[in-house]
């Protein structure tokens, strides 16, 4: 018996990759009561952990901003983090990690824990935003990457803090948008589009429409179905 078999309460052999369970009662993922608690996360948890991180790094970036360098670059770094770096990470992770085609049972168990359970039970509110057990190591990894690229390679250490703050804020926005598309009434053309786009990912095209906070990278990498692009062109 593998480690995952010892930990997991759910038998993935009984769940096909395209099966959807509309029950609002969440299935049990892990045998341990202690570990099982960490598989349930609310949007408030994400906000309470990560918004202070955004504020802290914005302050650190401002306090350490070098004299003689235009503050315009502070804003540029921040908005690149929000609008480009995070949305690209979101797309790549969703497409190539969360929707990786498992080649064996162990891989399917791991994918089910990370994301498959959300597709299996898309209406369960507490298994929708990313658990801190995943997001915190991910944030540390990307902070280290930003430090290597911006500080070590490019010699621009003052850009690390605002870029990281923007990327984290992009992540927070993603989690809130993701929650809203599933569980909140949305208003305005942008949110209505994102809700429809994500629902179509769940219930029509699970192998396409990987963007949640934007469909920019779906357009770039041609994972936006032709019908959707044609509809957008027709409305423009």
pLDDT in tens, the chain (236 residues): 789 999 999 999 999 888 899 999 999 999 999 999 999 999 999 999 999 999 999 999 999 999 999 999 999 999 999 999 999 999 999 999 999 999 999 999 999 998 999 999 999 999 998 889 889 999 999 999 999 999 999 999 999 999 999 999 999 999 999 999 999 999 999 999 999 999 999 999 999 999 999 999 999 999 999 765 545 534 43
64: in domain: yes
pTM equals 0.91
Residue 160 lies in a domain: yes
Token representation of residue 178:
């993701």
Whether 85 maps to a domain, the answer reads yes
pLDDT of residue 236: 37
Residue 230 belongs to some domain of the structure: no
Task: Give residue 231's pLDDT.
Answer: 52
Contact 48, 134 (CB under 8 A): no
Tell me if 162 sits within 8 A of 61, measured CB to CB. Answer: yes
The crossing angle, in degrees rounded to 10, of helices 189-203 and 160-183 is: 70
Asked whether residue 206 is domain-assigned, the answer is no
Q: What length does the chain have?
A: 236
Residue 143 CA to its chain's centroid (Å): 16
Number of separate domains in the chain: 1
pLDDT at residue 16, as a whole number: 85
Q: Identify the pLDDT of residue 218.
A: 97
Look at residue 209 and tell me if it is in a domain: no
Domain coverage including residue 140: 3-183
Distances (CA, A) of 49 to 52, 90, 172, 174, 176: 6, 19, 10, 15, 13
């Amino acid at each position: 018996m593998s480690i995952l078999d010892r930990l997991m309460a759910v038998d993935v052999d009984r769940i096909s990759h395209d099966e959807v369970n509309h029950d609002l009662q969440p299935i049990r993922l892990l045998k341990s009561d202690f570990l099982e608690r960490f598989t349930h996360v609310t949007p408030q948890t994400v906000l309470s952990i990560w918004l202070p991180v955004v504020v802290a790094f914005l302050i650190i970036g401002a306090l350490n901003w070098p004299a003689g360098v235009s503050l315009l670059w502070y804003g540029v770094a921040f908005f690149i983090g929000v609008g480009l770096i995070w949305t690209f990470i979101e797309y790549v992770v969703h497409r190539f990690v969360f929707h990786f085609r498992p080649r064996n049972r162990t891989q399917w168990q791991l994918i089910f824990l990370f994301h498959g359970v959300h597709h299996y039970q898309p209406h369960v509110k507490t298994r929708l935003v990313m658990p801190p057990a995943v997001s915190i190591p991910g944030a540390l990894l990307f902070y280290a990457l930003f430090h290597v690229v911006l500080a070590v390679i490019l010699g621009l250490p003052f850009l690390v803090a605002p870029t990281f703050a923007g990327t984290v804020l992009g992540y927070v926005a993603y989690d809130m948008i993701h929650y809203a598309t599933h569980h909140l009434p949305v208003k305005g053309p942008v949110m209505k589009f994102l809700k429809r786009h994500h629902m179509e990912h769940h219930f029509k095209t699970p192998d396409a429409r990987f963007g949640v906070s934007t469909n920019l990278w779906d357009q770039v990498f041609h994972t936006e179905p032709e019908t959707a692009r044609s509809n957008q062109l027709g409305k423009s």
